[in-house]
């Protein structure tokens, strides 16, 4: 097991395991997929080139914000570091709603902008406008919620939000465009 931040110092061709939050995922023309993983503790990222193996490719089972474990071969010395892996060597350890926090989303918003994910948080009302916000458990970090209709849960409720992180560039603030908001079990 190697941290993403120390991956650049590992010898090319070494087999390693890394763990990180999925912040980007796209398909290549050759049928492979590229993932970008974030280590929130160090702010380091790593690219993973994933070839089709015996398991489904990550796009079929992983989503933005999920915590992944990847076993692969270190490839080159470019930054950010890269791994080559097969689809059966990519494991979802925790889905986004259990891995992603409001604080992480706010701290690394450029990596999540425009992406859809699920996230738990506490529903609060903005003190000045009364608008809905999603807060972390400490109440120190919150993000505005834009909802298609009224929010059914009262302020103070723990909720699960399925939405997309966007930036209002005119007013320079983050918000989650919520597809749905439901009370957490």
**For residue 159, what pLDDT is reported?**
95
Asked if 76 and 41 count as a contact pair (C-beta separation under 8 A), the reply is: no
**For residue 154, what pLDDT is reported?**
87
Domains and CATH numbers, the chain: 4-95 (2.40.50.140), 100-183 (2.40.50.140)
CA atoms within 13 A on the CB side of 184: 16
Residues of the chain where predicted confidence (pLDDT) is lower than 70: 77
**For residue 77, what pLDDT is reported?**
67
**For residue 158, what pLDDT is reported?**
95
**For residue 129, what pLDDT is reported?**
83
Whole-model pTM? 0.91
**For residue 150, what pLDDT is reported?**
77
Beta-strand pair 44-51/132-135: unpaired
Tens digit of pLDDT for each residue in 112-163? 999 999 999 999 988 888 889 999 988 899 999 998 877 888 889 999 999 9
**For residue 151, what pLDDT is reported?**
80
- What is the C-alpha to C-alpha distance for residues 81 and 121, in angstroms, rounded to an integer? 32
Asked if 50 and 83 count as a contact pair (C-beta separation under 8 A), the reply is: no
Asked if 69 and 32 count as a contact pair (C-beta separation under 8 A), the reply is: no
**For residue 116, what pLDDT is reported?**
95
């Amino acid at each position: 097991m190697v941290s993403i931040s120390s991956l650049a110092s590992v010898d090319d061709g070494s087999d390693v395991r890394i763990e990180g939050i999925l912040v980007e995922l796209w398909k290549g023309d050759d049928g492979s997929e590229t993932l970008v993983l974030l280590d929130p503790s160090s702010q380091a990222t790593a690219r993973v080139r994933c070839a089709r193996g015996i398991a489904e490719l990550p796009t079929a089972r992983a989503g933005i914000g999920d915590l992944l474990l990847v076993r692969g071969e270190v490839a080159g010395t470019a930054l950010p570091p890269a791994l080559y892996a097969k689809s059966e060597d990519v494991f979802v350890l925790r889905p986004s709603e259990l891995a992603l926090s409001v604080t992480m989303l706010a701290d690394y918003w450029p990596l999540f902008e425009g992406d859809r994910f699920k996230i738990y948080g506490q529903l609060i009302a903005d003190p000045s406008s009364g608008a809905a916000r999603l807060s972390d458990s400490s109440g120190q970090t919150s993000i505005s919620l834009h909802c298609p209709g009224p929010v059914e849960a009262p302020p103070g409720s723990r909720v699960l939000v399925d939405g997309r992180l966007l930036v209002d560039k005119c007013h320079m603030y983050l918000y989650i465009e919520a597809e749905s908001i439901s009370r957490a079990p």
